[in-house]
Amino acid sequence: MNKFNFAIIGAAGYIAPRHMKAIKDTGNKLLAVLDPFDSIGIIDSYSPEADYFRESERFDRHLDKLRRLGEDKKIHYVS
């Protein structure tokens, strides 16, 4: 079974915790999170290794960096 890497925009939203739970429960990885509001507690409960960003420009640069690191770090889906 393939494992996928995810990034989430809007982690403080109503649906985001469900997405994070589904990512974790299916054995996939959440690598990056973008949200202007600090919802780090909920992020840490599902994926403590995820990188958190408040600014979209830094988030975008980080996703590009992950892509250049290879298939095991590349983001496959953004939610």
Q: For residue range 17-64, list pLDDT tens digits in order.
A: 999 999 999 999 999 999 988 766 788 888 889 999 999 999 999 999
* Beta-bridge partner residues of 52: 33
pLDDT at 54: 94
For residue 16, pLDDT over 70 is answered with yes
- Percent of the chain as helix, strand, coil, to the nearest 5: 40, 20, 40
14-18's contacts with Cβ under 8 Å and 24+ in sequence apart are: 16/42, 16/79, 17/42, 17/46
- Work out the pLDDT band at 12, boundaries 50, 70, 90: confident
CATH architecture of 5-78: 3-Layer(aba) Sandwich (3.40)
DSSP letter assigned to residue 75: -
